[in-house]
Copies of this chain bind each other. A is one copy, B any other.
């Protein structure tokens, strides 16, 4: 993985998983949902439109494809994809697999309830699944 400067709050709330061509994939430490965050490995920018047009396409494609494969592999009812960044200004995109049975369905995941940190086994299992999916996307 390439070194770049990750926002401290993102670093504290997540586990690094692997790199896609443009983005670092982070696993949100919240076992309520399969929830990853993509961070383009760029100098500090905040808005998608600050990327080059090619990188904009790449970022959205990475988010869309990862959401697709996660939903298929992990089981889920809906993919939520969002670039918000009101609290953490470093550009990042949320990809969340939602289930009708999850803790807060159908509300969005932000600012509702409390995160449930993974235990070691749960984190290791999902990390392995995500690594296999990302390997597949990276061809």
CA distance A112 to B111 in the complex (A): 10
Interface of chain A, main secondary structure: mixed
22 A-B pairs (CB sep. < 8 Å): A47-B78, A48-B67, A48-B79, A49-B65, A49-B68, A56-B60, A56-B64, A57-B60, A78-B89, A80-B82, A80-B83, A80-B84, A81-B83, A82-B82, A82-B84, A82-B108, A84-B108, A86-B98, A86-B106, A107-B111, A108-B108, A111-B112
Interface residues of A in 93-119 (CB under 8 A from B): 98, 105-108, 110-112
Number of copies: 2
Interface contacts beyond A57-B61, A78-B86, A81-B83: sample of 14 additional A-B pairs, CB < 8 Å, sorted by A: A47-B68, A48-B64, A49-B67, A49-B68, A53-B61, A56-B61, A56-B64, A80-B85, A81-B82, A82-B82, A86-B106, A86-B108, A107-B111, A108-B110
